[in-house]
Every structure is written in C-alpha cells, then in structure tokens.
Amino acid sequence: MKTASFNEGLFIALISSITGSIIYYLLSVFVADSYIFRLLISLGSLAYILYLLSRSQTHVGRASVVGAWMIIAVTIWFYWPPAAVFILVHIAIIWLIRSLYFYSSIVSALADLGLNLLSIAAAFWAAQTTGNLFLSIWCFFLTQALFVVIPKNLLATDKPQVLTDDRFRNAHRDAQSALGKLSTRS
C-alpha cells in the first residue's frame, strides 16, 4: 500500500482546484452561491477523506469513518449553520481522521491541527486577495499536502543501536549463567 506523499498532495490540490472550479461555474447559473460553496466543501471533504483512508496503513474502521462523515454531513446540511461553522466541522473531521490514522502522539496531532488552521488561513487569504475560487482551493490543499512532513510521533527519540547491543549482551550473559548452573547440577 502506498503512503501519502507531498507530490500526491500537489496532484490532489490541482485536481481539487480544477474540479471545484468547474463544478462552481457549471452550477452557478442554476444554484445560489451559498449552496454551491457548501456542496464544494462537502464533496472536497469526502474526496480528501477517501484519499486519506486509502493511504493509511490502518485498515480498521474505514467504513465507520465514512458512515460517521455522512451522518455529520447530512446533519450540518439539515441544520444549516453559518458558513464558518460548516467549514470548521469539515476541517475538524479531516483533522480527526489524520490524527487517528496517521499519528501516534498528541503533539503530532496538535501540529496537524495547526496545519489545518494554516490551510484555512491560506484559503481565506487567497479568496480575499484574488477572489479566485481555483486559487483558494489550491492554497487550501497545497497547505494540506504538508501533513506528510509531520512525524508520526513528534515525541519519539531514536534510541541508539548501543542499547540493542546491551540488551543482547545482557541476555547472552544471563543465558550463559543459566547454562552454567544447569551443568553444575547434573
């Protein structure tokens, strides 16, 4: 199974930007912008979650994650919260999935939370500066692609090889001592 890579993240950003722009311009004639943006956020979130699950080394709970996403997505569509809350719920789901499937420490998960907040800021900055949907989506997913540089466990320290050798030596010495005791009893 392939793991996620930055180059794949770039590809996801490009495809998402193109697809999102096309969907927006095709539907903007018939549907209000607020519906289109929420549709784009939901579809983008689902597609990205499916990508993350396909790249995860953990196989447990994938169907449950997709089912939970669907329940949450339908619920927030039904209640129609403000756009900021709608976006934050989808970002929180992405963060939670990456935290559960890609990291083994709270510090790594918090670093990913910071990356998600940076992604939102980059997307809003692009939207405010250029007014271009393509660039907003691009900036969001480009920043998201950086999650691959966050270590699985930021708190882990690599133990030097010497410790392994010491364990072996201790086990070897204990085994020789046990053999010596057995041979003197016989």
Q: Would you list the domain boundaries of the chain?
A: 6-154, 156-186
Q: Which of 46, 113, 47, 123 is nearest to 84 (CA)?
A: 123
The tens digit of pLDDT for each residue in 3-62 reads 888 999 999 999 999 999 999 999 999 999 999 999 999 999 999 999 999 999 888 899
Task: Say what the pLDDT of residue 157 is.
Answer: 58
What value does the CA radius of gyration of the chain take, rounded to a whole number of Å? 24
13-22, 79-88, 119-128, 171-180, range with the lowest pLDDT: 171-180
